[in-house]
Each structure stands twice: as C-alpha cells, then as structure tokens.
C-alpha cells in the first residue's frame, strides 16, 4: 500500500514537472516571438501617426484624375515600406533600442531589410518609369537629409531628443506633398503649405508630449507657466502662422479650425491642475487628436 501511494506521488510530481516545463517553453517561445517582432516591426506608435496622417491628407488634397490613382497607391506602399525598413536596418547596425545579437536574429533582420528595400525600390521605379514624376526625387532628398540629421542628433544624447524628433518629423510629413504631387502632377505652394501644416501639427504634438513627461509632478498654474513657457510661446507662434497663411491666401481660413483642438488641448493643460502621467493614455489621446486633425485639415484643403 505504501509502495502504491509513493508511486502515485512520484507520478504526480512528474506530471507537475512536465506541465511546468511546457509552460516555461511556451513563455520562452512567446518571448522569442516578441523579440523577433521588435527587431523588424516599428514600435513607435506616434511615428506611425506622423507618417499616416500626412499621407492621408496628401492623398485627400491631391485626389483628382482617376489616372493618377495608381501612382498614389504605389507611393503609399513605398512610403510604408521605407518607414518600416528603418527598424530592421537599425537592428542590424545596432543604432536603435533593439539590436540583433545572434546570427539567427541578424539573418531575420537582414531578410526583412532586403524584402522591404526591394519592395520600396520596385514601387519607386514604377512611379518614375520613363521619366515621370521626377520632382518626387527632390522631396525624397529633403526627407533623406532630415533623417540623416536626426540620426546625428540622436547620437548627441537626451538633451537634444526633442530637436531630433522635430527634424525627423520633417521627413515623415514629406509624404503629404509627395502624395499631393502624385495626385495633381504639381508641386506648388499648396502642396508646400500642406507639408508645413502637417509638420506644425507634429511639432505641437512632440512638444506637448515632452512637456507632459517632464512636468508630470507640476500642479499649480505658476509652476506650469514656468515649466511650459516655451510651449506657450510655440502655441502663440503656431496660431500667428496659421492666421498669416490664411491672410496671404496661401491656405483656407479653415486651416485654423483644423488646429483648434490641439490649441485648446495645449492651453487647457495650464489650468487643470496636476494630472497623473499615464503614458499609454496620453498616447491614445494624441492619436485621437491626430485623427481629428487629419479630417479637419482634409476639409480645409477640399472646401474652398
């Protein structure tokens, strides 16, 4: 009887060990998959927004001749591919937060980089085949220069982090004039104002997020005014710039309405007391601000 009981006990222990081993293996597989995804998939949700919103507004403002729909669609594929390409390349070069540390990880990052580079190259060749849409090169060179400067600034440390983000936003928002140009066949002041408007919005978002992070413990109005004086000045400069663009007939007066939600959001922060910093909640809030801005800016360029 004692032998049977001991045998059952050992069997129960073996089953428990096997279950724990399987659970550990599942957790290990999940961790490996998560790391692999982080090596090749862009993690910055805000950067996705800074790419997609200008792309959306550029397509909406430039939509016209049906014959130009195909180049615009191909450009969207190229823009997303080039944006995605940066993450696996940084993993290979060890210049980003994630680094390919094993031969298998380097192989995965290399395959992803090669596939994305091939897709982007094929798309760009398709768009510019036969000497078409060559002004796209000037926009691309400007975006490439912005990303190069951003890389240099990122290497200088956290003190210039916001500056590097603002410079990088120049490259991300270049999708707006590029999509507008492909839709209309023109790279005129309207397309450049569209680029400027998207960059000004990106500037406002980046500055506000940095302010919320660095002033999370500030609660009184005088303290907030002291910590946020540069942001407040930026809000005033932004509003003055928008009014000037409308007064010079470079943009519709509706462009001011497109920025109204973020201007109100920025001014409201000074008067609502201390807010606990929830980075995830702040990110979703700024994504909603971005969606609202995209729709309102689209209307500003469509309604004349």
Residues in the chain: 304
pLDDT at 116: 86
Predicted confidence band of residue 185 (pLDDT cuts 50, 70, 90): confident
**Contact 261/293 with Cβ under 8 angstroms?**
yes
Rounded to whole angstroms, the Cα distance separating 283 from 260 reads 19
**Residue of 221 and 294 predicted with greater confidence:** 294
Distances (CA, A) of 172 to 55, 80, 297: 9, 10, 17
Burial of 175 (0-12, 13-18, 19+ CB in 10 A): buried
Question: What Cα–Cα distance (Å) separates residue 183 from each residue in 53, 66, 133, 186?
Answer: 16, 9, 10, 8
CA gap 63, 69 in Å, rounded = 8
Closest CA to 169 of 142, 205, 202: 202
Higher-confidence position of 109 and 134? 134
Token couple for 106: 């380097």
pLDDT band at 21 (very low <50, low <70, confident <90, very high): low
Task: Using the structure block, give the residue that is written with the tokens 């957790």.
Answer: 27
Structure tokens at 189: 């002041």
Euclidean distance between CA atoms 41 and 98, whole angstroms: 11
Q: Tell me the pLDDT tens digit for each residue of 134-147.
A: 888 899 899 889 88
Q: Which two tokens stand for residue 14?
A: 């073996």
Cβ atoms of residues 282 and 288 within 8 Å: no
pLDDT score, position 109: 77
* pLDDT, mean of residues 229-247: 93
Where are the chain's structural domains? Answer: 13-187, 188-304
Strand, helix or coil for residue 47: helix
Q: Is 133 in contact with 127 (CB distance < 8 Å)? A: yes
CA torsion 73-75-79-80 (nearest 10°) is 30
């Amino acid at each position: 009887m004692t032998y049977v009981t001991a045998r059952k006990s050992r069997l129960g222990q073996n089953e428990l060990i096997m279950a724990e081993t399987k659970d550990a293996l599942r957790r290990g597989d999940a961790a490996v998959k998560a790391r692999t995804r982080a090596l090749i998939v862009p993690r910055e949700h805000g950067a996705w927004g800074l790419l997609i919103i200008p792309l959306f507004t550029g397509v909406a403002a430039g939509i016209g001749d049906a014959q130009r729909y195909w180049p615009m669609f191909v450009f969207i594929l190229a823009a997303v591919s080039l944006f995605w390409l940066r993450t696996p390349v940084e993993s290979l070069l060890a210049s980003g937060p994630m680094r390919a540390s094993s031969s298998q990880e380097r192989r995965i990052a290399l395959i992803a980089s090669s596939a994305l580079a091939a897709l982007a190259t094929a798309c760009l060749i398709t768009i510019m085949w036969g000497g078409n849409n060559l002004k796209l090169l000037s926009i691309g060179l400007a975006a490439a220069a912005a990303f190069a400067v951003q890389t240099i600034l990122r290497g200088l440390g956290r003190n210039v982090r916001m500056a590097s983000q603002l410079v990088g936003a120049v490259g991300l928002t270049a999708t707006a004039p590029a999509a507008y140009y492909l839709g209309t066949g023109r790279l005129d002041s309207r397309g450049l104002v569209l680029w400027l408007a998207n960059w000004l919005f990106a500037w406002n978002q980046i500055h506000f997020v940095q302010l919320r992070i660095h002033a999370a413990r500030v609660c009184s109005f005088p303290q907030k005014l002291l910590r946020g004086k540069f942001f407040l000045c930026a809000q005033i400069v932004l509003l003055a710039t928008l009014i000037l663009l409308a007064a010079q007939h470079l943009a519709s007066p509706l462009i001011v309405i497109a920025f109204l939600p973020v201007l109100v959001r920025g001014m409201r922060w000074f008067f609502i007391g201390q807010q606990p910093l929830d980075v995830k909640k702040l990110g979703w809030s700024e994504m909603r601000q971005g969606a609202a801005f995209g729709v309102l800016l689209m209307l500003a360029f469509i309604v004349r």
